[in-house]
């Protein structure tokens, strides 16, 4: 009888841990609608047209302001009408992707056009 109780208790604990891990995945997925829905959870996206990044978990844009990288909840005024739904987005899997900005700018320069704006 003790073995049955231990097994049931073990299954109960496994069930609790799996439920908690599912809850964590759901909370990470609170991305804006313009962020692609991918099977792999990606924290950062590079926006080559405006040379900026978006941090999904912080819900903030990362861009250069006064010669330094800043986190802001919105884009600078010059990009306020930028259409994020139509914009090309590059998933970045490394931490602090702006450290590799020069590489990203070179690699994705062909995607940099005049930024699209909503009409």
Q: How many domains does the chain have?
A: 2
Under the banding of pLDDT at 50, 70 and 90, the label for residue 74 is very high
Q: List the 68-72 sheet strands across, edge first.
A: 68-72, 60-65, 52-55, 44-47, 90-92
Instruction: Tell me which residue of 30, 62, 26 sits closest to 44, measured CA to CA.
Output: 62
Q: Are 35 and 64 in contact (CB under 8 A)?
A: no
63 and 95 in a single domain? The answer is yes
19 and 59 in a single domain? The answer is no
pLDDT over 50 (residue 4) = no
Q: Can you give the pLDDT at residue 119?
A: 44
Q: What percent of the chain has pLDDT over 70?
A: 65
- Which region among 17-21, 67-71, 73-77 has the lowest average model confidence (pLDDT)? 17-21
Label residue 27 exposed, middle or buried (CB < 10 Å: 0-12, 13-18, 19+).
exposed
9 and 67 in a single domain? The answer is no
39 and 54 in a single domain? The answer is yes
67 and 11 in a single domain? The answer is no
DSSP class of residue 115? P
Q: Which domain holds residue 6?
A: 1-30
20 and 48 in a single domain? The answer is no
């Amino acid at each position: 009888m003790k073995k049955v109780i231990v097994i049931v208790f073990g299954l109960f604990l496994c069930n609790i841990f799996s439920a908690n891990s599912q809850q964590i995945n759901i909370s990470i997925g609170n991305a804006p609608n313009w962020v692609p829905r991918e099977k792999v959870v990606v924290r950062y996206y590079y926006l080559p047209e405006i040379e900026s990044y978006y941090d999904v978990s912080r819900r903030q844009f990362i861009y250069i302001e006064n010669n330094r990288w800043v986190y802001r909840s919105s884009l600078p005024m010059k990009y306020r009408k930028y259409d994020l739904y139509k914009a090309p987005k590059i998933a970045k899997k490394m931490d602090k992707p702006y450290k590799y900005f020069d590489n990203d700018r070179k690699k994705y320069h062909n995607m940099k056009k005049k930024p699209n704006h909503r009409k």
